Chains A and B, each alone.
Chain A
């Protein structure tokens, strides 16, 4: 199971964390990955200055542009899920 944590603290909220969360929830569902991905939240990851919403995938940090959630999902999340499956 890949663990995705999205920051919903004030800075990231203003940068669009709601959009990131809602799109990830949608993508996980439509790609039928409910059993492979665990979505969670956090209040602040200490990177308020970063361009983009703070997200970690299996504890690896990413700054995600809310306009490019689909790309992030394909490039990072799906990859992480596939790697886990291989392992």
Chain B
């Protein structure tokens, strides 16, 4: 099983697949209670203390696969009983401490938090420790470790804390829905809600696309996600699921880059608006800078708007790497354009729920966008595209000075500097996930090759320039 990075993803996938399988057959409400025992049969536990706890947690996963807790508006949820209450003591000295003479740890600690016992072994005074980590860095034996929880560690916006009963809890006012914790929690105790049932329902009720057409729009980060089959076969598989047609969101990215370059040249300073987690972060933590966020829709919404202008009676489902897109499409103004959102993980589950053998399918096509629209999927791609669009729009004289922020920590630094008027740049590319969209929590894999595969996919585009990809599209503007 190397389609996923971790077994947590695989477990989630199996639940999604079974839920989908039953939903296609209209048997979900009769049989959903059987899913946990189907996945964990017998009496020997393989993941937790006993099969009963394993099944109880699976029940929660079934709930999440069916849309999760409706009373919690956040698309990211903690499964309390799956949280292993990891130790979270911060920096601790382990038995690897040799009681040496050098005491580099003591010298490195600016707070005087390190003391030594009669064996010369180090101890950390928690009342003085500020968790700077310097002692850990200088210890030649790597004897000092950080027991910060993986969830808290992954959450760079500090939205995760511990509840009174030691369970992880998410501060919804700080959470940007990026899904970093979903991917990082080793126990799979944090998960994104799934809307696969909405998608199955949309497809079924379309009456084979006769009542209305259901379009799948696919993010460019799909390049390299499905390892054993070609992208063309994935496109065919999406159609097999019952979608009318598959269109690349990179075309929406071309439209965004074009408009963004003009907006930038007019306003003089701008941040990108493509990444919904970044946009939410700016709005929550730097409200004074929110006026600088590009007024453009995201590529997803831009393309959906274009399709809906062309065809009034249709539905649009976004398929991508992103959990924050699930929050984006649930905004009122975006929901009019995008009817549902699923991740690549969920796409894999849907394809397998119908037992579609992708390797036996013919090659479908996915080609509308330019090279530049496609490279939006990786960090730096948006900036390259805006630079190109400035050129194509005859705005070469604009002194473009971008800063590419790869991950929310870099975004934070740039925004802090901007808020204090210390940022020399005039364009912020803000991507919450490290590496850009290919680092998204909804990706099947997060390999080092994914970036080059996006570039290859970019170069395969028929259209080399942004205006070539979008120039003739004005034909569909409704009069």
Q: Report yes or no: B475 in contact with A44, Cβ–Cβ below 8 A.
A: no
Closest chain-A Cβ to B240's Cβ sits at a distance in Å of 14
Q: Point out the residues of chain A lying under 8 angstroms from B235, CB to CB.
A: 10
Q: Point out the residues of chain A lying under 8 angstroms from B476, CB to CB.
A: 8, 40-41
Q: CB within 8 Å of A: which of B201-226?
A: 215
Q: Point out the residues of chain A lying under 8 angstroms from B468, CB to CB.
A: 18
Q: Report yes or no: A40 in contact with B245, Cβ–Cβ below 8 A.
A: no
Q: Report yes or no: B368 in contact with A10, Cβ–Cβ below 8 A.
A: yes
Closest chain-B Cβ to A18's Cβ sits at a distance in Å of 5
Q: Report yes or no: A10 in contact with B365, Cβ–Cβ below 8 A.
A: yes
Closest chain-B Cβ to A31's Cβ sits at a distance in Å of 17
* Cα–Cα distance between A25 and B90 once the two chains are bound (Å): 67
B442-475 vs A: 1/0 string, CB under 8 Å? 0000000000000000000011000010001101
* Cα–Cα distance between A41 and B308 once the two chains are bound (Å): 12
* Cα–Cα distance between A70 and B45 once the two chains are bound (Å): 71
In the complex with contacts A18-B468, A41-B476, A48-B247 CB distance below 8 A:
no
- Nearest residue (CB) in B for A12 is B365
* Cα–Cα distance between A61 and B473 once the two chains are bound (Å): 21
Q: Point out the residues of chain B lying under 8 angstroms from A39, CB to CB.
A: 475
* Cα–Cα distance between A10 and B232 once the two chains are bound (Å): 11
Q: How many residues of B contact A (CB 8 A)?
A: 23
Name the one of A6, A10, A11, A48 contacting B475, with C-beta atoms under 8 angstroms. Answer: A6
* Cα–Cα distance between A62 and B310 once the two chains are bound (Å): 20
In the complex with contacts A6-B475, A14-B462, A44-B366 CB distance below 8 A:
no
B244: Cβ under 8 A from any A Cβ: yes
Residue of B248, B310, B472, B479 with most chain A CB atoms under a 10 A cut-off: B472
* Cα–Cα distance between A21 and B475 once the two chains are bound (Å): 8
Name the one of B246, B310, B472 contacting A10, with C-beta atoms under 8 angstroms. Answer: B246
Q: Report yes or no: B247 in contact with A41, Cβ–Cβ below 8 A.
A: no
B199: Cβ under 8 A from any A Cβ: no
Q: How many residues of A contact B (CB 8 A)?
A: 19
Closest chain-A Cβ to B404's Cβ sits at a distance in Å of 30
Q: Point out the residues of chain B lying under 8 angstroms from A18, CB to CB.
A: 463, 468, 472
Q: Report yes or no: A21 in contact with B472, Cβ–Cβ below 8 A.
A: yes
In the complex with contacts A21-B475, A41-B310, A44-B244, A13-B462 CB distance below 8 A:
yes
A40-58 vs B: 1/0 string, CB under 8 Å? 1111100010000000000
B160: Cβ under 8 A from any A Cβ: no
Q: Point out the residues of chain B lying under 8 angstroms from A6, CB to CB.
A: 475
A66: Cβ under 8 A from any B Cβ: no
B307: Cβ under 8 A from any A Cβ: yes
B311: Cβ under 8 A from any A Cβ: yes
Q: Point out the residues of chain B lying under 8 angstroms from A42, CB to CB.
A: 310-311
* Cα–Cα distance between A78 and B29 once the two chains are bound (Å): 58
Interface of B, secondary structure class, is: mixed
B367: Cβ under 8 A from any A Cβ: yes
- Nearest residue (CB) in B for A24 is B475
* Cα–Cα distance between A14 and B307 once the two chains are bound (Å): 19
Closest chain-A Cβ to B241's Cβ sits at a distance in Å of 15
Q: Report yes or no: A13 in contact with B367, Cβ–Cβ below 8 A.
A: yes
Q: Point out the residues of chain B lying under 8 angstroms from A10, CB to CB.
A: 235, 245-248, 364-368
Residue of B245, B247, B366, B367 with most chain A CB atoms under a 10 A cut-off: B245
* Cα–Cα distance between A56 and B364 once the two chains are bound (Å): 22
Residue of B247, B366, B475, B479 with most chain A CB atoms under a 10 A cut-off: B475
Closest chain-B Cβ to A69's Cβ sits at a distance in Å of 13
- Nearest residue (CB) in A for B235 is A10
Q: Report yes or no: A48 in contact with B365, Cβ–Cβ below 8 A.
A: yes
Q: Report yes or no: A14 in contact with B367, Cβ–Cβ below 8 A.
A: yes
Q: Point out the residues of chain B lying under 8 angstroms from A11, CB to CB.
A: 365
In the complex with contacts A10-B365, A14-B462, A48-B365, A43-B475 CB distance below 8 A:
no
Q: Report yes or no: B367 in contact with A43, Cβ–Cβ below 8 A.
A: no
In the complex with contacts A14-B365, A18-B468, A8-B473 CB distance below 8 A:
yes
Closest chain-A Cβ to B208's Cβ sits at a distance in Å of 11
* Cα–Cα distance between A29 and B475 once the two chains are bound (Å): 13
* Cα–Cα distance between A8 and B276 once the two chains are bound (Å): 28
Residue of B246, B247, B366, B368 with most chain A CB atoms under a 10 A cut-off: B368
In the complex with contacts A9-B245, A10-B247, A18-B468, A41-B475 CB distance below 8 A:
yes
* Cα–Cα distance between A44 and B246 once the two chains are bound (Å): 9
Q: CB within 8 Å of A: which of B295-352?
A: 307, 310-311
* Cα–Cα distance between A40 and B309 once the two chains are bound (Å): 11
In the complex with contacts A40-B310, A43-B310, A44-B244, A13-B368 CB distance below 8 A:
yes
A22: Cβ under 8 A from any B Cβ: yes
Q: Point out the residues of chain B lying under 8 angstroms from A48, CB to CB.
A: 365
* Cα–Cα distance between A13 and B364 once the two chains are bound (Å): 13
Question: What are 6 A-B pairs with beta-carbon distances under 8 A?
Answer: A8-B472, A8-B476, A10-B246, A10-B366, A18-B472, A38-B479
Q: A13-B368, A25-B472, A43-B311 are in contact. List 7 more A-B contacts (CB 8 A).
A: A10-B246, A10-B247, A10-B364, A13-B367, A14-B367, A38-B479, A44-B244
Q: Which 9 A-B pairs have the closest CB atoms?
A: A44-B245, A10-B365, A41-B476, A21-B472, A11-B365, A10-B367, A39-B475, A10-B366, A14-B367
